[in-house]
Amino acid sequence: MTNSKSDRVLIFDTTLRDGEQSPGATMTHDEKLEIAEMLDEMGVDIIEAGFPIASEGDFQAVSDIARQSKNSTICGLSRANFKDIDRCAEAVRKAARPRIHTFIGTSPLHRAIPNLTRDEMADLIHETVSHARNLVDDVQWSPMDATRTEHDYLCRVIEIAIKAGATTINIPDTVGYTAPRESADLIRMLIDRVPGADEITFATHCHNDLGMATANALAAVEAGARQIECTINGLGERAGNTALEEVVMALKVRNDIMPYKTQVDTTRIMAISRRVAQVSGFPVQFNKAIVGKNAFAHESGIHQDGMLKNPENFEIMRPEDIGLAGTSLPLGKHSGRAALNAKLKDLGFDVGDNQLKDVFVRFKELADSKKEVFDDDLIALMTDGTDSANDRVQVKFLRVICGTEAPQSADLTLEIDGVDHQKTATGDGPVDATFNAIKGLFPHEARLQLYQVHAVTEGTDAQATVSVRMEESGKIVTGQSSDTDTVVASAKAYVNALNNLLVRREKTKPDAV
């Protein structure tokens, strides 16, 4: 328990639950395990790993994360019924520190959903929290839509949950409706009025619909909340959740006025931000606080001059504090393996000898097609989704014919399960023609939901990173690739998504373990 008198703030990351719940942000099993490991290593106190009753995949992910976790508490979400709670307990069972998080909507609007009277809901909260507490020692309870729940009723049900054994009470601003002063007043009121409030931890869980999630979470901490629920890059339903990197860095940089500490190793922020962006298919906006591409860029002459004289003129935190390399001198085709390795280390990629050998070959190919290879080019290279060794489908050859006259055409060779297949197709533009050729060679029902192109750096020889998202029978997969040729990057990203789809089909076959 971390009560309102302590200066320690617990960081509860829900990237793998609330974040992954956001439409289109689905991650594969292996990706979830990888993100959980990164969260564990960076010092996140509690990882909400998923919603075990939601699907077999969610259950497996939570239980595998529970098994692999070293330091973090592993939490699963469950609704207010015994079946959900039992499944959740089963999933977190192998964790060194398991937690069950159970919730029910308590506002007038949310009470109407299960059609329960206030008294009936109060009884259900008592029964379900007691049941969870009989299964594990660490139980978190959330009155969903707390910020729109009548204060008297909120105090009543929180008292019931504490008496039934809840050790953390989370106060969700489910619809992102509150504002900083109100967020603080609510926590203060609860600490004042609810018997037993001193014995538990209050948590704050904010959504960003009005762009106030970080401010609301910090205001709640100033009022006595000691757990912040957040996600990497602010991923989450609608406008997302409180961003982990924002609250952690705000508490670090403005510790003079917010004297609270977390145990997050901030130098790992950039690496996990990039990885979450890649696996979720949700790119980080350029001017996003802390992790945006421009967060430490100083373009104007006055700023650059000031920065050279003293970085503190325009920088309130150092790039190194979040794991960004200080300088950004580009590499070129004469750079050797040692220089590449040193640069990759600076960027947070620790590669073994074999991987370095492979990356070096790809780096040389890239350096041949563009003069200067910048940090962002290397990041794109390292996070490229294509893994030619294991992929069943690979792009072998592509030539497009473009011009002002439609239709454009694409001549494509794909290697499918070791055999080359060739097709020429036309389309409305070179990318459409290429995608039509892929569909002709590898027929599938998956629907393209998103196609996105980003220039990695400036200039006409810049690499493009292409992300695609596809849906098949309700399952979503993403693909990503980078190349100096946008059409090649598009073809490879599409094929990468297809390979991910094949892996997923294999895993969800009825006889798959």
Task: Catalog residues that contact Zn ion under the rule CB under 5 A.
Answer: 18
Q: Which is nearer to ligand KIV, 114 or 311 (CB)?
A: 114
Of 505, 385, 513, 494, give the one whose Cα is nearest residue 448: 494
User: Which of ligand KIV, Zn ion, none interacts with 142 (beta carbon under 5 to 8 A by kind)?
Assistant: ligand KIV
Report how far residue 161's alpha carbon sits from residue 194's, in angstroms, rounded to the nearest whole number.
11
- Rg for the chain, CA atoms, rounded: 25
Site for ligand KIV in 15-74 (CB under 6 A): 18
User: Which of ligand KIV, Zn ion, none interacts with 144 (beta carbon under 5 to 8 A by kind)?
Assistant: ligand KIV
Q: Which is nearer to Zn ion, 18 or 483 (CB)?
A: 18
Residue 142 binds ligand KIV, judged by CB under 6 A: yes
User: Which of Zn ion, ligand KIV, none interacts with 465 (beta carbon under 5 to 8 A by kind)?
Assistant: none
CA distances (Å), origin 357, targets 30, 275, 348, 391: 24, 22, 18, 19
Pairing of strands 447-455, 419-427: unpaired
User: Which of ligand KIV, Zn ion, none interacts with 128 (beta carbon under 5 to 8 A by kind)?
Assistant: none
User: Which of ligand KIV, Zn ion, none interacts with 133 (beta carbon under 5 to 8 A by kind)?
Assistant: none
Report in angstroms how near the CB of residue 229 gets to ligand KIV at its nearest: 7
Site for ligand KIV in 197-256 (CB under 6 A): 205, 207
Helix (H, G, I), strand (E, B) or coil at 375: helix
- Residues with Cβ < 8 Å from 365, sequence gap 6 or more? none
Report in angstroms how near the CB of residue 421 gets to Zn ion at its nearest: 46
Amino acid at 62: V
Q: Which is nearer to Zn ion, 14 or 386 (CB)?
A: 14
The DSSP line for 415-447 is EETTEEEEEEEEESSHHHHHHHHHHHHS---PE
Q: Which is nearer to ligand KIV, 103 or 282 (CB)?
A: 103
Report how far residue 415's alpha carbon sits from residue 417's, in angstroms, rounded to the nearest whole number.
6
Binder of ligand KIV out of 98, 172, 281, 385 (CB under 6 A): 172
Residue located via tokens 């703030």: 9
- Residues with Cβ < 8 Å from 442, sequence gap 6 or more? 393, 414, 416, 498
Report in angstroms how near the CB of residue 40 gets to ligand KIV at its nearest: 21
Task: Please give the torsion angle defined by the CA atoms of residues 73, 79, 85 and 89, in that order, rounded to the nearest 10 degrees.
Answer: -20
Report in angstroms how near the CB of residue 124 gets to ligand KIV at its nearest: 16
Site for ligand KIV in 86-125 (CB under 6 A): 103
**Phi, psi (5° rounding) for residue 464?**
-110, 135
Q: What's the DSSP call for residue 453?
A: E
- Residues binding ligand KIV: what is the number (CB under 6 A)? 9
User: Which of Zn ion, ligand KIV, none interacts with 275 (beta carbon under 5 to 8 A by kind)?
Assistant: none
Report how far residue 512's alpha carbon sits from residue 510's, in angstroms, rounded to the nearest whole number.
6
Q: Which is nearer to ligand KIV, 48 or 377 (CB)?
A: 48
Q: Which is nearer to ligand KIV, 168 or 496 (CB)?
A: 168
- Residue of closest CB approach to Zn ion: 18
Q: Which is nearer to ligand KIV, 205 or 370 (CB)?
A: 205
102: β partners = 78, 141
Q: Which is nearer to ligand KIV, 114 or 407 (CB)?
A: 114
Report how far residue 107's alpha carbon sits from residue 146's, in angstroms, rounded to the nearest whole number.
6
Judged by the rule CB under 6 A, the positions of this chain that interact with ligand KIV are 18, 103, 142, 144, 170, 172, 174, 205, 207
